[in-house]
Amino acid sequence: MSSEKLVMMANQIGRFFVPQRGADPAAAIATHLRKFWDPRMRAAIVAHLDKGGEGLDDAVRQAVLRLKAGRA
């Protein structure tokens, strides 16, 4: 799957979680990615972040950093 597609999908997930009250959006996004994304997809989005993370929304960028650090 292309990086552009993964970024689009991750940002869509982020747009769901960001407006929810009482939750840490980055934590919720990271948990969702860990639970529902294939390990190859997670590795690809982390690799995209490592290359600069072009197109990732702020909360999604923070979520991917959490995935990378194993905090999701």
Which candidate, 56, 32, 57, places its Cα nearest to that of 42? 32
Q: What is the pTM of this model?
A: 0.92
What residue segments make up the domains of the chain, in order of their start? 3-69
pLDDT band at 72 (very low <50, low <70, confident <90, very high): low
**Is the pLDDT reported for residue 21 higher than 90?**
no
pLDDT band at 43 (very low <50, low <70, confident <90, very high): very high
pLDDT band at 46 (very low <50, low <70, confident <90, very high): very high
- How far is Cα 1 from Cα 5, in angstroms, rounded to an integer? 7
- The per-residue pLDDT for 1 is 85
Mean pLDDT of 59-66: 98
- The per-residue pLDDT for 23 is 83
